[in-house]
Chain A
Amino acid sequence: MINKRISQFLRPRLTSVFLTRLIIVALSAYLIFGHLLLPIRLAGGSMEPTYHDGSFTFCFRYKFKLSSPQVGEVVTIRFSGRRNMLLKRIIAVAGDKVAFVDGRLFVNDQFVEEPYLVYESDWNMEPKYVKENFVYVVGDNRSMPINNHKHGMASIHRLMGGPIF
């Protein structure tokens, strides 16, 4: 009985039911993994220790269709297409004033507690105002010199979504 089922699984008969199922599965996979949950492999350690170099997750594309980007959220920022993205955390939104003083984040002149930070940082950055339709993003790993870390204002039109885990 089991052998017969395995045999049927490995060598299915090309019936209309089978073909319909195959088309539905292929279409669902295309829609889910091509448009809804994009598989992403992380390269680089700018989000350590929250996300590790080489780890894998999915980017939920419609995150910002349902809500606007919020401070503290981890987001993916696209380049010219969908094959390359940056993974960063939003630390300020449009109109906010952002500054770093001795590794501590200040938004609108208020010190911001960041529980996700583990590594020591000595960053200093003059205050910057976040432009309209932009968010300020930075990685969780600020142990490297500030000039070696990609951070700054990202257009909300470049936000692809956010990781689901």
Chain B
Amino acid sequence: MKKILLVSVILIGLVAGYFYMQDDQEEQIKQQFAHLAELVTKPEVVNIIAASQRLKELQRLFSTNCMVQIEEISQKGNYIPEEMASMVVGGWRATKELKLTFEDITFEALTETTATTVVTGRLTVAFSNGTIDTYVKEIRSDLIKVDGDWLFASFVEVAVLL
């Protein structure tokens, strides 16, 4: 009887531990998305030193080759972190205000070192002429874990309407 109880406790512990680890990984990835959104959002005052610091931080969020396939954002292709940061700078230069948020992050697959997520990205841009555009896209994003950090490896638009 004691043996059964002990085995049950260990099993429950293992299952709870597994879910705790999963939750922990998911939380880390959600934080990466929040961090990415925060860094991409155009600061109110673009100070050169602060912006440079921000771009360096931004570059650290991407894997060495990040695949991007989102209409209206860029050409389909693979980009190095510096190019990803340049893309953001281009966005800042072309707009008066630029705000990115990620919502409804769901996990399609999650291992110790890789994750596939589906997320809704909302990009709001305001131009100097007063025009405001909002783009809402469903994006499938792959992440890989390198040296303890989750890095973005791809962003591919999912067609909601075919």
Residue numbers of A with Cβ under 8 A of B are 43-44, 77, 79-84, 86, 131, 134, 137, 150-154, 158
Contacts and interface: CB of A to CB of B under 8 A. Distances in A.
A61 to B, nearest CB: 16
| 5 pairs of A and B residues whose beta carbons are closest in the complex | A81-B104, A152-B161, A79-B120, A153-B162, A79-B138
Contacts of A81: 103-106, 120
B103 A83 contact: yes
29 contacts: A43-B134, A77-B160, A77-B161, A79-B136, A79-B137, A79-B138, A79-B160, A80-B103, A80-B104, A80-B105, A80-B106, A80-B118, A80-B119, A80-B120, A80-B138, A80-B139, A81-B103, A81-B106, A82-B104, A83-B104, A83-B120, A84-B120, A86-B160, A131-B162, A137-B161, A150-B161, A151-B161, A152-B161, A154-B161
A84 B161 contact: no
Contacts of B60: none
Contacts, number: 50
A84 B162 contact: no
Contacts of B35: none
Interface string B21-63: 0000000000000000000000000000000000000000000
B122 A84 contact: yes
A86 B138 CA distance: 12
Interface residues of B, number: 18
Interface of B: 103-106, 118-120, 122, 134, 136-139, 158-162
A134 B162 CA distance: 9
A121 to B, nearest CB: 18
B122 to A, nearest CB: 7
A137 B161 CA distance: 8
Contacts of A137: 161
Contacts of A84: 103-104, 120, 122, 136
A157 to B, nearest CB: 11
A74 B73 CA distance: 30
Most B Cβ at <10 Å: residue of A43, A44, A80, A154? A80
